[in-house]
A and B are shown apart, each in its own frame.
Chain A
Amino acid sequence: MSNVLLIDFGSTYTKITAVDVESGVVLGTAHGITTVETDIMDGLNQALGELFAVTGKLEFSKVLGCSSAAGGLKMVAIGLVLELTVEAAKRAALGAGAKIMGVYGNELSEYEIEEIAALNPEIILLAGGTDGGNKEVIIHNAKMLTTLGKDVPIIVAGNKSAAPQVVKILSEVMTEVVHTANVMPRLNELNIEPARETIRDVFLRRIVEAKGLNKANEFVDSMVMPTPAAVLKAAELLGKGTSYEAGLGDLMVIDIGGATTDVYSIAKGDPQRCNVALKGLPEPFAKRTVEGDLGMRYSATALYKAAGAKMIADFAGVTEADVEAYMHKVEENVEYLPENETESKVEIAMGRACTRLATERHVGQLETVFTLNGPAFVQNGKDLTAVKIVVGTGGVIVNHQQPAGILKGAAYDESTLQMLKPEKPEFWIDEKYIMASMGLLGMEYPELAIRMMKKYIVRR
């Protein structure tokens, strides 16, 4: 028996993918409604019924799951300086697939503690100070967190010299306090892997149960990680490859949803031209960013604000009034789908605007500095101009007639020269919507996952 079942418990749909690991073939995919409020198995059984109707009854040697159900993994990240340890903590949480509810720096105030309590995070990541650097602030913040009035798992990833004291202070009130390596051991040195692993570990031990996902445990062997972490894992495998199976090289992945737009990049992002000085934090090779104000339905109003009617109207070739009218419709009814040609054009333009803005926030920027020796360049973030492949995944892109029209927003644009976006990208589509599943599969069968992605993710 060589069948593996991969399940993605999404916020709306439970998507399943059955794979034959011997032949490397997708046997079938299906989806049901996610039923985390009642019994998560209901939606899963619905999906299985749909799958078996096509494939016939299947037995599985292994069942792996990832989840973004019940609001995803909600986290708050705390550091000291906004551009340094706060940013490092944020990146660690994003890389672990979390949904960031808030980020905080400096000494926390009583107001901020109230705010954090109201955000209801499932895990708090507490950083601050380089190793041997500032201790006072992280100790202050630990003391403040003891007044949260809630028992929240806290991961301590700050100044190693202050860590024992911080853990001790927190442990008096919180049940789960886990210490891991500093997210920034030295200035501008990023070390987010240990924190990412710890977040995943706490997610497995605590969050899965708290969310009622454990009801699926009898059926699912292991709930491996939050869905975005699975997509990041898949993207990394597809880009980097392994020693036995070559990857595709540097790439980006765009996932547009109703509420958010996720961007992933698998690339070092070093400067592509000469005379460039790198500034800011070093970038993770596998990087994820999420934009909470860019989405096709729940965030349509926010998108309208961020992009402006003109950008969407220009992309669509319609009037700004058309855009506004359509935005109102989808805002009132999130299930609404385009009914005529103008609306279809606006829909694509919205997707393109999401892609464009989310990509611009993800990539690095080049700034020209005029020195006495002539102009010099300062690069902040990743230079992704040489990235050749942009993969589209997620319901909006996968189910769209013209996904390339949406992904166009990721390409380099002469009106925003300073943005280091891919210059000549090819657009590839995750047609079978299997990337999250392949991230799961890749935990045990990395080469197979890469081969399958190469087969099922196609150039458009």
Chain B
Amino acid sequence: MENSKVKVVLGVIGADCHAVGNKILNYALTSAGFEVVNLGVLVPQKEFINAAIETGAKAILVASLYGHGEIDCRGLKDSCREAGIGDIKLYVGGNLVVGKTDFTEVRNKFLAMGYDRVYEPGILPDQVIVDLKNDLGMQG
């Protein structure tokens, strides 16, 4: 039954309207058995949190493709704690910063912001699905 599926919130954060990767992830996650609450593009932080509370989602997957990710993603973890869902898993991926920065540096920066997983450009959805299942303690 659909409602017993694990729910995850998906969206592209900030003033970013890159929609293609969002659709691919939505498709891949749904096929993998998740119920995807897809917020689409141009999503403010608050909308991610509201959606997660109301649906009882287990993870929030944030994408940012336009280089301003660092600004947009800052403070999401704190807001989750404030809203009473501090335990929720936070994943982030895309082109998180402008230019060619060493990705280890970027990853550390986002880990420090409270994200559980940080993905570099070019990662395949399969990896995200494996990580989700591990992190959420799901079978298979």
Contact = CB atoms under 8 A, between A and B. Distances in A.
Interface in B5-44: 5, 7, 15-17, 35, 37, 40-42
Given A132-B4, A187-B37, A376-B42, A277 B54 contact: no
B108 interface: no
Nearest to A136: B56
B121 to A, nearest CB: 16
A interface, size bucket? 20 to 34
A279 B42 contact: yes
B66 A129 contact: no
Contact of B53 (A134, A160, A161, A184): A134
Nearest to B67: A372
B51 interface: yes
A229 B72 CA distance: 43
Contact of A161 (B3, B15, B50): B3
A98 to B, nearest CB: 23
Contacts of A80: 53-54
A131 interface: yes
B55 A376 contact: no
A318 interface: no
A203 B101 CA distance: 64
Interface in A67-103: 80-81, 83-85
Contact of A371 (B17, B37, B50, B56): B17
Contact of A378 (B5, B42, B51): B42
B13 to A, nearest CB: 12
A185 B130 CA distance: 29
A61 interface: no
Contact of B50 (A81, A135, A372, A376): A81
Majority DSSP secondary structure for residues of A touching B:
loop
Contacts of A188: 51
Interface residues of B, number: 23
A277 B42 contact: yes
Given A81-B50, A277-B41, A371-B16, A133 B7 contact: yes
Contact of B54 (A84, A369, A371, A372): A84
A184 B54 contact: yes
A373 interface: yes
Nearest to A106: B84
Nearest to B49: A81
Contacts of B5: 132
Contacts of A81: 50, 53-54
A130 B54 contact: yes
Interface in A350-380: 369-373, 376, 378
B42 A85 contact: no
Contacts of A160: 3
A372 B66 contact: yes
B42 A129 contact: no
Contacts of A373: 17
Interface string B121-138: 000000000000000000
A132 B56 contact: yes
Nearest to A131: B3
Given A81-B54, A132-B3, A277-B40, 10 more contacts: A84-B50, A130-B54, A130-B56, A132-B5, A133-B54, A134-B53, A134-B56, A184-B54, A369-B15, A371-B15
Interface of A: 80-81, 83-85, 129-135, 160-161, 184, 186-188, 277, 279, 369-373, 376, 378
10 contacts: A80-B53, A81-B53, A131-B3, A133-B55, A134-B54, A161-B3, A186-B55, A187-B55, A279-B42, A369-B42
